Amino acid sequence: MSYKEVYANWKSDPEGFWMQAAEAIDWDQKPTQALTQKGEGLFEWFADSKVNTCWNAVDRHVEAGHGDRVAIIYDSPVTNSKRNITFAELQDKVARLAGALRAQGVEKGDRVLIYMPMVPEALQAMLACGRIGAIHSVVFGGFAANELAVRIDDAKPKAILAASCGIEPGRVVEYKPLLDGAIEAATHKPTFCAILQREQKTADLIEGRDLDWAEFQQGVTPAECLPVEGNHPSYILYTSGTTGQPKGVIRHTAGQLVALNWTMKAIYNVAPDDVFWAASDVGWVVGHSYICYGPLIHGNTTVVFEGKPVGTPDAGTFWRVISEHKVTSFFTAPTAFRAVKREDPTGALVKDYDLSSLKQVYLAGERADPDTIEWAQTQLGVPVIDHWWQTETGWAIAANPLGIEELPIKLGSPAVPMPGYDVEILDDAGHPVAAGELGAIAIKLPLPPGTLPTLWNAEERFKSSYLNTFPGYYETGDAGMKDEEGYLYIMARTDDVINVAGHRLSTGAMEEVLANHPDVAECAVIGVSDALKGQMPVGFLCLNAGVDRPQDDVVREVVQLVRQQIGPVAAFKMATVVDRLPKTRSGKILRGTMAAIADETAWKMPATIDDPAILDEITVALKGIGLAGA
């Protein structure tokens, strides 16, 4: 069947389409109904079913006689170690960890926060939660204690599972002091923490609260899989929104199982037993969907890679891992390829490896620039597929579905909507615009299985963030267009979210940090184009009257503050002091215009600007920090 036929099939009978996809899942109680409407704009999939995530990701493969197949390949150039874990071993480890959690009082519906680097234990922790119906919330290691505290207070975890440290090139990141600081700062306190001690830096345990990872699993009764309702949350994953308070995206159990399993063949073109590698981090949605759940549910081997595209030890690492582990489908962010390309523009290192196993490459997380795609395609000789999705959707909204049909690649476009997504480009009034015209990208409700049904304990915020602007639609927060053939082009965010090295960050959250500096009266943060990371944040500071300290000191301090309060991942390194910020007459800061000046892209003088002369001052300030054609 062609893509067009599959998409038309879905459109003519969406519920039937997903009920059929649901046949590939092992149910404890089959759903009798696919979709349930819970309220205005609120939908749930397979709500009346009973099912277990861990059973589908692990146990059923052992049951089917595939216990000896490798489930996880751990490859860690930063610790010089490699390890394979079979499905049977994984079942054993996960059942024991789940048993230990249960023995400490963790029950169905309890939240468990996971703060771990790229080690197999992170996946085991996620799966162990699913095994007993606990709801996990993984926090990315590059966030600072304060961000962790915000998530602890929102998710209110009974337990925290953490590692003693993570390893970044050239430094060991001690997780435990960050964790201790976060728990101290948070109002909610977990009942206990279990700490995976890594030899690179072991942590001091706090008596009465912290347990040793290995010890707390000793002698426990392994836990069986507990069937949960299809609409039971599998996890909460926090993502950046407009403010400093992140949004707790939740994912329901059954929808996730059905949708991710469907994508493995249709989009990623792998058969069970193929090796699938997403070079991301468990702290991001890509890590949830395509390092942990998708591949394992589908019976693929997944690669847990603890390293970087460059420097661990060189720009040939990706190719080494692909050739050594016979990776079939590889998923990374464009920024990673740009980093590799910068060090090895001619692909000399590619030629050192046998990449014959590799059939296709996928890019997401940020706009894939045509140069990067072409470079990768030339080097690797396989299709390089841009696909577009978000933490909220959990899987691709638009892609080139190689497992259904390879569509012609149009550079700059993540191709076409996947079944489940009816994508429209809307004008400000919510009317669809003509092909080729720019607008807000929205998806007709209901969203498909595996997407967010709501936000954790924040239904009103869910509605105001995603549903209220365009009634009947989910607002993606991205702007773009559709061409005559239905290919989508994703151009920019419509909100204050920026994308730095494939990491989604909120400029609003950074502004909140800057505004807290005692010398800062007013501030703005914008994202400017960056050849490597896609975008980089830049801060503008207006200082309080009477501040007579060197401005460079204030700049240094705010850079440090963002690192301390949001984390190194914010990559906030550039700021400048200005007298005034450009605003509209109603007082709205013209961030878009400032970004256009910095990027030297075409811009129009906003009709509502209060004082156009301020833009000249902004240009001078940008030149002062090496931007705006300095």
Q: Which residues here bind ligand AMP, judged by CB under 6 A? A: 239, 285, 364-368, 386-391, 414, 476-478, 490, 493, 499, 504
Place of tokens 């400017």: 528
Nearer to ligand COA, 503 or 583 (CB): 503
- Given ligand AMP, ligand COA, none, residue 568, with its beta carbon under 5 to 8 Å by kind, binds ligand COA
Residue 432, SS3? strand
HSE value, Cβ hemisphere, 13 Å, CA-based, for 356: 1
Site for ligand COA, rule CB under 6 A? 141-142, 166, 168, 173, 279-281, 284, 286, 308-310, 332-333, 335-336, 339, 364-365, 501-503, 568-569, 571
Nearest distance from residue 165's CB to ligand COA, in Å?
Answer: 10
In degrees and rounded to multiples of 5, residue 271 shows phi and psi of -100, 155
User: Least distance from C-beta 237 to ligand AMP, angstroms?
Assistant: 9
Number of helices and strands in the chain (H, E): 19, 31
Cα–Cα separations (whole angstroms), residue 122 to 240, 282, 305: 22, 7, 12
CB of 56 to ligand AMP, least distance (A): 24
* CB closer to ligand COA, 225 vs 315: 315
- Cβ proximity to ligand COA: between 142 and 244 the closer is 142
Contact 578, 618 (CB under 8 A): yes
Q: Is 67 helix (H, G, I), strand (E, B) or coil?
A: coil
Instruction: Select from ligand AMP, ligand COA, none the partner in contact with residue 493, using the beta carbon and a kind-dependent cut-off of 5 to 8 Å.
Output: ligand AMP
Shorter beta-carbon distance to ligand COA: residue 123 or 134: 123
Question: To the nearest whole angstrom, how small is the minimum distance from the Cβ of residue 351 to ligand COA?
Answer: 22
Q: Which residues pair with 332 in a beta bridge?
A: 363
477 binds, among ligand AMP, ligand COA, none (CB under 5 to 8 A by kind): ligand AMP
Helix (H, G, I), strand (E, B) or coil at 56: helix
Residue 571 binding target from ligand COA, ligand AMP, none, CB below 5 to 8 Å by type: ligand COA
413 binds, among ligand AMP, ligand COA, none (CB under 5 to 8 A by kind): none
Please identify, using beta-carbon distances, which residue of 55 and 362 lies nearer to ligand AMP: 362
For the record, the structure tokens of 533 come out as: 């990371």
Report the residue count for the chain: 630
CB nearer ligand COA, residue 129 or residue 396: 396
Question: Taking CB within 5 to 8 Å according to partner kind, which of ligand COA, ligand AMP, none is near residue 450?
Answer: none
**Between residues 308 and 387, which has the closer beta carbon with respect to ligand AMP?**
387
Q: How many CA atoms lie within 13 A of 207 on its CB side?
A: 0
Q: Are 91 and 123 spatial neighbours (Cβ–Cβ below 8 Å)?
A: no
- The answer to whether 421 and 398 have CB atoms below 8 angstroms apart is yes
* CA atoms 305, 306, 310, 316: torsion sign: negative
Q: Which does residue 141 touch among ligand AMP, ligand COA, none (CB within 5 to 8 A, set by kind)?
A: ligand COA
Sorted by sequence, the CB contacts under 8 Å of residue 415 that are 6+ apart come out as 385, 386, 387, 398, 399, 400, 407, 409, 487, 488
339: part of which helix (H) or strand (E)? helix 334-343
Query: What is the closest distance, in whole angstroms, from the C-beta atom of residue 82 to ligand COA in the complex?
Result: 20
Of the pair 365, 480, the CB lying nearest ligand COA is at 365
The CB-of-107 to ligand AMP minimum distance in angstroms stands at 30
